Amino acid sequence: MRSSCACLMKPVLHGYFRSSCSWRVRIAFALKGIEYDQVPVNLVKDGGQQLTDQYRAVNPMQQVPAVTIDGITLSQSLAIIQYIDETRPLPRLLPVDPQQRAQVRMISDVIASGIQPLQNLTVLEKVGSEKIQWAQHYINKGFNALESILKQTSGTYCFGNEISMADICLAPQVYNAERYKVDLDQYPTIKRINQTLMKIEAFKVSHPSCQPDTPDQMKA
């Protein structure tokens, strides 16, 4: 009875409006049509609300996002997205075919593990005054590889003609690249796919400019 009641409760997303990892989860919820509540965790205010003992009890890594869903709390955006996809299967975010699914996971991990962590707030704080150049260097390094991969895998989207977890990872990373003034004209496949994604409602409503904790001056 307890587990069935938990499944009836709306998921709760602990996140930050400009966190690319949080945005990934928001996109997945929107694509699936899942209603959820948000608990903002400001990564800057008060020295970082993610560093409090209260939030450590939610996510011991003291990062966003964390999602309470079906009576459990999950962290790590790709683990959350894959759980959502396995428990709310339509529309699918990962292909059924094992080889295709592996390729979507590969593209997702190139972004989520190989590019994005190097622009994390905690990393850039350590880098200091050279943070813009640092971010540009590692985004360009990652995008060079990603562009090559997507030339082989893409159709309308990152993998063929269906939206997948790879697209969910791509859009927030392009947003980061734009923040750090990376020249996207160098990456025509990435740029084309992102422009297509930004016309889709799920990507619009989940955008950092449209969240409850978005500062007024940054709202759409």
Q: What is the pLDDT of residue 168?
A: 98
Q: What is the pLDDT of residue 7?
A: 62
Give Dmax (Cα) for the chain: 55
Would residue 161 be called left, alpha or beta, if left means φ above 0 and alpha means ψ between -120 and 50 degrees? alpha
| Per-residue pLDDT at 172 exceeds 50 | yes
On whether the CB atoms of residues 66 and 126 are closer than 8 A, the answer is: no
| Per-residue pLDDT at 206 exceeds 70 | yes
Neighbours of 54 (CB within 10 A): 8
Q: Quick one: average pLDDT of 17-24?
A: 98
Q: Quick one: average pLDDT of 1-29?
A: 85
* CA-closest candidate to residue 165, choices 87, 103, 99, 76: 103
User: Domains in the chain, start-ordered, CATH in brackets?
Assistant: 2-91 (3.40.30.10), 98-204 (1.20.1050.10)
| Per-residue pLDDT at 151 exceeds 90 | yes
Q: What is the pLDDT of residue 122?
A: 87
Question: Which amino acid, residue 35?
Answer: E
Q: Which residues pair with 66 in a beta bridge?
A: 14, 75
Which pairs from 157-164 meet CB under 8 Å and 24+ separation? 157/193, 157/196, 157/197, 158/104, 158/107, 158/193, 159/95, 159/100, 159/103, 159/104, 159/107, 160/100, 162/92, 162/95, 163/31, 163/91, 163/93, 163/197, 163/200, 164/92, 164/93, 164/94, 164/95, 164/104
pLDDT (tens digit per residue) in 88-140: 999 999 999 999 999 999 999 999 999 999 988 889 989 989 999 999 999 99
| Per-residue pLDDT at 5 exceeds 80 | no
pLDDT (tens digit per residue) in 28-76: 999 999 999 999 999 999 999 999 999 999 999 999 999 999 999 999 9
Kind of pairing, strands 66-69 and 72-75? antiparallel
| Per-residue pLDDT at 189 exceeds 60 | yes
Give the pLDDT band of residue 1 (cuts 50, 70, 90).
very low
The torsion angles phi and psi of 66, rounded to 5 degrees, stand at: -135, 140
Q: What is the pLDDT of residue 2?
A: 45
